[in-house]
Each structure stands twice: as structure tokens, then as C-alpha cells.
């Protein structure tokens, strides 16, 4: 039975208080493939009440009990792995191999990392006569985005449960089906009633209500900086904790001693992955001024080798972007780049040849971009790369850090010690040296307007705990 028109509250699938529906569109066809129920304040009240009622008993469970629950969730997730990937492919337009190997894998990988980190984590510490306890913060509102749905759902739900919290999840209404499948996973795993709840809906009607709810103790939000500011302002009235993972405009410094051809080509691929819809994508490539034209030639060849098309067709590298809104925004920014005098190396406005419907974007590379240009400062969230020149290493570091964001930075060098020295000067929460493999044990989060708090492994668990010091215990 499909649960698309229901919410998961207090261990049961329930109908919304007021029946309202929203079409879910397939971005490859621009047509609806299903509908979901969308909620309102009354549905949030029900879900929060269930989480609040379940909290005292769940908070009192042992670490061993919560570890066992997480392992059951992982097993149930693996049972539905193909269904999760299929849902992501339909709702996001992700090519099916990418949906399997990256999107669905991310949920599995983070569940495994949370379990491993929690097994090694101590919740009680002694300092002299004081015993220090890490206790669950309470009822948590989790608001997740559409671009990496399972990554962000698991990065919030798993550590919250490890900490002993109860949760209400609002997935993105643009890509909600994978969240519904995840709720089915939680039900199959036997999560106690009220510990996990799901309400679908829009940001204003559900997300903001959750953020301001007096019985919510913490909000964990991933999304745009603009929306994050609204969530934080709403939460401020009740002085609840707010953890945020927001936007980015990450620099990729290619140092003169890097393997230039390899570094530029991989930089293009890293920027365009997930159709450019990653907050930590290396969207600003910084290259030595005297090698700028060489970099453009390499980037052009790399971009033009990427096949854009039907996400369910064999050999597709990139599918569409997620929505008409995103498509229009990307098109506007591409036009702005041209108008402001950047060199259009490849790509440009409009759909790729042969694609007449679907929100497909031409993989686009701009050269001779200056730091003041709009495409060097605004988060585009599509397959658009800006290549900038630097005069020397000091200039590269200055340009890289000259942004309101600080989510990630990238450094390429054949000399690891050199790369490390530059990494230490990056004002970003994550720095990636020479395109490393994804590390689910590393902390993830941003400086400046890219947010606060950290996710992944034990870093995420810490965010969902309060610190209690009992002085004179010993």
C-alpha cells in the first residue's frame, strides 16, 4: 500500500487533519508521477505531541538498546535499498546508477558510521569530583532538503536516535517519496511509537511551525542560507538550539605544482556531480593566471564529454535539475555571467541539443571570471563552473576566502605538505586535498553563512546532546 497521502505519527500511518494534496513532478518529464498529502499546524501539533510523550521513556533507554535499534534500522534500510534509489531517481531525476551508488549509499554509509561512532563514544566522563553526562536534548524538528535526501535524513535521524532524542521529520516537498520510504523503513525496524514521526508539507506551513513550536527543543535544518535565517529567527522566540547546514560557494585552488590536466578535469566532474546540486560543490576553480587558457581547454573537453539525458537510460551521466524554479534560476545566472563579461567556454542558456522537455541544463563552463562577478559570488546550484585566475598563492588564498560562505574548500597539489599548508588557511568547515574519497567519519558543516554545528558520525551525535555536570558526584 502506498503511504503517499498519509503521515507517520506515533507509530502509525495517519491521514492529515485537513486533506490537501501536492503533485510530485518527475523533472525528466515535467509531469506528475504521484501526489502527497501536505500538512499544517494541526498535523505538526499531533507529531510533536507524540514525540514529547515518547521522549521520557526513550531517553531512559540504554546505549546498548539504542545501538540495537540503529542496527535494526540499517537492516531494514538495506532491505529497501533499491526502492530508495528508485524513489530518488524519480523525484530528483538522478541517473539510476548514481541514485544507487551515491544517493542511497549515502544513507547506508552514514548509518554505518553513526553506529561505529556511537559504539566507541562515552556518554559519561569524570573530571576530578565532577561527573559529566551527555543527555538527549529532547524533541527535535528535522528539516531536510531535496538535493541529497537520504544523506541528510540519515545524518539527522541516526544521531538523534543515538543520543536518545525523539524526532519529527519534514522532508522536502519537492522530493518527498524517498522520505516516505524511509518512514516505512523505520516502521519495519520496530522503532517505538512516537520516537520517529514524519509530516510532509511546505516550509511556511510545516517547517516554520516546527521551528517555532514551544514543545520542540532543537531544530536541525539543511537548506539555503535564506531559509536558514528564517528558521533561526522563528526558533529564537523559544530559545531552542538550531543546527544549520546552509549554502556554499566553494573554491578549488589548483596550485602550480598540481597535475594540471588531471586536477582541472576532476574539478569539472566534482562540480557537475548530482547535476551541480551539492552545497559543497567546487564551483569556483582558481588557476594560475599564466595557465588560464590551458585550464579552459581542459575544462571544455571534460564538460563536453558529459552525457546529459534520461536518468533511466544507459550511459547517462547527468539528469535534469530538480524543478522549474531551479532551472529558471540557473538560466538567469548563466545569462548574467554572459552579460557581465565572463567568457562562455562551453554550454550556455537553454537545454542540451535533442532534449525538448525536462529541466535539463547544459553543462556550462565560464572562463576569465572575476571575483566581483555574480557567478563568482552567488550559489548557482546547477552544473555551472566559474574559472578564476590568481597571481600567486597569497592571491589564491585571498580570493578563496573572499565569500560569505565557508562550507568547503578544495586544494590540489602534487606536494601533500604544500596542500596541507594551504588547507590550514582556508576558512571552511571541510577542506578536501586532491579529491579524496568520501569520508563519513569526518565532520561536516560550515563557517560563516554556511551554518553552524557539525554532522556525520560522533560529530552529529554531540549536536543532539545537552551537557550536564554533576559537581561533587565523586
- Point out the residues that are catalytic: 245, 279
How far are the Cα atoms of 37, 53, 65, 66, 221 from residue 209, in angstroms, in the given order? Answer: 17, 19, 32, 29, 13
Alpha-carbon dihedral angle through residues 111, 169, 8, 58, given to the nearest 10 degrees: 70
**36 Cβ neighbours under 8 A, 6+ residues apart:** 4, 5, 21, 22, 24, 173, 176, 177, 180, 200
**188 neighbors 413 (Cβ within 8 angstroms):** no
Nearest 5 degrees, angle CA 301-CA 308-CA 375? 65
CA distance linking residue 364 with residue 347, whole number of Å: 4
CB 312 within 8 A of CB 322: no
In this structure, are residues 343 and 367 in contact, taking their beta carbons and an 8 Å threshold? yes
- The bridge status of strand 166-170 relative to strand 196-198 is parallel
User: CA of 264: how far to CAs of 379, 414, 428, in Å?
Assistant: 20, 13, 21
Angstrom CA distances, 190 to 66, 231, 448, stand at 12, 31, 40
Alpha-carbon 469 to chain mean position = 33
User: Residues 316, 95: contact at Cβ < 8 Å?
Assistant: yes
Judge contact between 186 and 160, C-beta under 8 A.
no
Amino acid at each position: 500500500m502506498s503511504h503517499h497521502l498519509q503521515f507517520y505519527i506515533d507509530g502509525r500511518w495517519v491521514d492529515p487533519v485537513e486533506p490537501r494534496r501536492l503533485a510530485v513532478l518527475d523533472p525528466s518529464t515535467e509531469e506528475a508521477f504521484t501526489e502527497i498529502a501536505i500538512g499544517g499546524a494541526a498535523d505538526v501539533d499531533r507529531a510533536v505531541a507524540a514525540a514529547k510523550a515518547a521522549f521520557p521513556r526513550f531517553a531512559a533507554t540504554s546505549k546498548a538498546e539504542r545501538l540495537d535499534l540503529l542496527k535494526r534500522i540499517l537492516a531494514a534500510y538495506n532491505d529497501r535499498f533499491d526502492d530508495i534509489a528508485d524513489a530518488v531517481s524519480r523525484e530528483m531525476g538522478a541517473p539510476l546508477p548514481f541514485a544507487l551508488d551515491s544517493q542511497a549509499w549515502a544513507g547506508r554509509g552514514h548509518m554505518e558510521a553513526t553506529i561505529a561512532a556511537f559504539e566507541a563514544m562515552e556518554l559519561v566522563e569524570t573530571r576530578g569530583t565532577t561527573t559529566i553526562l551527555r543527555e538527549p536534548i529532547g524533541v527535535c524538528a528535522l528539516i531536510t532538503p531535496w538535493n541529497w535526501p537520504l544523506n541528510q535524513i540519515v545524518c539527522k535521524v541516526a544521531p538523534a536516535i543515538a543520543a536518545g532524542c525523539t524526532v519529527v521529520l519534514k522532508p522536502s516537498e519537492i522530493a518527498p517519496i524517498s522520505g516516505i520510504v524511509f518512514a516505512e523503513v523505520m516502521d519495519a525496524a520496530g522503532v517505538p511509537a512516537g520516537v520517529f514521526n514524519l509530516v510532509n508539507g511546505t516550509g511556511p506551513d510545516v517547517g516554520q511551525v516546527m521551528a517555532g513550536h514551544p514543545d520542540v527543543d532543537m531544530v536541525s535544518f539543511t537548506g539555503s542560507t535564506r531559509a536558514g535565517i528564517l528558521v533561526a529567527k522563528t526558533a529564537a522566540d523559544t530559545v531552542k538550539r538550531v543546527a544549520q547546514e546552509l549554502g556554499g560557494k566553494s573554491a578549488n585552488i589548483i596550485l602550480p605544482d598540481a597535475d594540471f590536466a588531471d586536477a582541472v578535469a576532476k574539478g569539472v566532474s566534482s562540480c557537475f556531480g548530482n547535476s551541480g546540486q551539492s552545497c559543497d560543490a567546487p564551483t569556483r576553480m582558481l588557476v594560475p593566471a599564466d595557465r588560464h587558457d590551458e585550464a579552459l581547454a581542459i575544462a571544455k573537453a571534460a564538460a563536453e564529454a558529459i552525457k546529459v539525458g534520461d536518468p533511466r537510460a544507459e550511459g547517462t551521466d547527468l539528469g535534469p535539475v530538480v524543478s522549474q524554479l531551479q532551472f529558471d534560476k540557473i538560466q538567469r545566472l548563466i545569462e548574467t555571467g554572459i552579460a557581465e563579461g565572463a567568457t562562455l567556454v562551453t554550454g550556455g542558456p537553454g537545454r542540451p541539443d535533442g532534449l525538448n522537455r525536462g529541466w535539463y541544463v547544459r553543462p556550462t563552463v565560464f572562463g576569465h571570471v572575476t571575483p566581483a562577478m555574480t557567478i563568482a559570488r552567488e550559489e548557482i546550484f546547477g552544473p555551472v563552473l566559474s574559472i578564476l585566475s590568481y597571481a600567486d598563492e597569497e592571491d589564491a588564498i585571498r580570493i578563496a576566502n573572499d565569500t560569505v560562505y565557508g562550507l568547503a574548500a578544495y586544494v590540489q597539489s602534487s606536494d601533500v605538505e604544500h596542500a596541507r599548508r594551504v588547507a590550514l588557511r582556508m576558512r571552511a568547515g571541510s577542506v578536501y586535498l586532491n579529491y579524496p574519497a568520501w569520508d563519513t567519519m569526518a565532520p561536516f558543516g560550515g563557517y560563516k553563512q554556511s551554518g553552524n554545528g557539525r554532522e556525520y558520525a560522533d560529530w552529529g551525535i554531540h549536536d543532539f546532546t545537552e551537557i550536564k555536570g554533576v559537581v561533587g558526584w565523586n
